């Protein structure tokens, strides 16, 4: 895949959503779908769908729309799920455990292969099929497993250290739930998922709506 054009975060997000939706459609047995219908299912416009698929070089037919299995295959490959990706989770607390449960059977190409915690009570066992280790061996295990991604669910104060260790061990992508700006080398991709921020956004617009209603 001679990936040339730089594809934006936004487009990747939508492609991921198309992919999830297409999987369901495919299981349902539908062979074809129009941009318009896929758009509605994903909450975007038809033109957006066509533009996005154009960006990854996929073509449909004017009469039948897009071939579902073929498109699913293409999007999946484009997103890099042709081969297995390994990830680890650090911080087996409230949120960490919810995520351990969540990843069971999610995306077969996105494998959560280990979890770590500083608390000895929470490690040396298997939770939802994932082996849990003490943080002391984190660098070693991550490097050995060649994990590419790390999910950070430790308290704010520990997040930077965890991130640095992960990066040193070869991780190039981080999903960070701690409300802190991580400092990492520029080749590492960081996505911060700050639930407080998201909620405050909802609060703001919920307020706007309530105001308008009156």
Partner DNA sequence: GTAACGCTGTGAATTTTTTCACAGTAAGAC
Partner DNA sequence: GTCTTACTGTGAAAAAATTCACAGCGTTAC
Q: Is 64 in the site for DNA (CB under 7 A)?
A: yes
Q: Is 72 in the site for its own copies (CB under 8 A)?
A: no
User: Is the separation of the CB atoms in 97 and 127 below 8 Å?
Assistant: yes
How many amino acids of this chain bind its own copies (CB under 8 A)? 63
Comparing CB distances to DNA, the nearer of 58 and 103 is 58
107 binds, among DNA, ligand NAD, its own copies, none (CB under 5 to 8 A by kind): its own copies
Residues constituting the chain:
214
Site string for DNA, 12-51 (x = CB under 7 A): ----------------------xxx-------xxxxx-xx
Site string for ligand NAD, 147-186 (x = CB under 6 A): ------xxxx-x--xx--------------xxx-------
Q: Is 91 in the site for DNA (CB under 7 A)?
A: no
Q: Which residues of this chain interact with ligand NAD, rule CB under 6 A? A: 90-96, 98-99, 101-102, 116-119, 122, 135, 153-156, 158, 161-162, 177-179, 195
Q: Which residues of this chain interact with its own copies, rule CB under 8 A? A: 3-4, 9, 12-13, 16-17, 19-20, 41-43, 79-81, 85, 87, 94-95, 97-99, 101-102, 106-107, 110, 148-149, 151, 171-175, 179, 181, 187-189, 191-213
């Amino acid at each position: 895949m001679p990936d040339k054009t730089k594809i934006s975060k936004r487009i990747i997000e939508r492609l991921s959503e198309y992919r999830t939706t297409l999987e369901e459609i495919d299981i349902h047995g539908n062979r074809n779908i129009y941009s318009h219908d896929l758009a509605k299912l994903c909450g975007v416009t038809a033109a957006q769908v066509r533009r996005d698929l154009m960006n990854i070089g996929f073509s449909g037919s004017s009469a039948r729309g897009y071939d579902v299995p073929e498109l699913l295959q293409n999007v999946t490959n484009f997103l890099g799920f042709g081969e297995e990706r390994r990830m680890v989770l650090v911080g087996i607390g409230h949120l960490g455990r919810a995520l351990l449960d969540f990843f069971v059977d999610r995306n077969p190409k996105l494998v959560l292969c280990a979890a770590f915690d500083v608390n000895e009570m929470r490690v040396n066992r298997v939770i939802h099929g994932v082996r849990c280790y003490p943080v002391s061996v984190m660098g070693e295990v991550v490097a050995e497993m060649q994990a590419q991604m790390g999910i950070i669910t430790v308290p704010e104060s520990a997040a930077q250290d965890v991130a640095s260790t992960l990066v040193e061990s070869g991780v190039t992508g981080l999903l960070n739930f701690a409300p802190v700006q991580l400092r990492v080398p520029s080749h590492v991709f960081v996505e911060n998922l700050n639930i407080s921020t998201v909620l405050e956004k909802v609060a703001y617009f919920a307020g706007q709506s309530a105001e308008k209603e009156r």
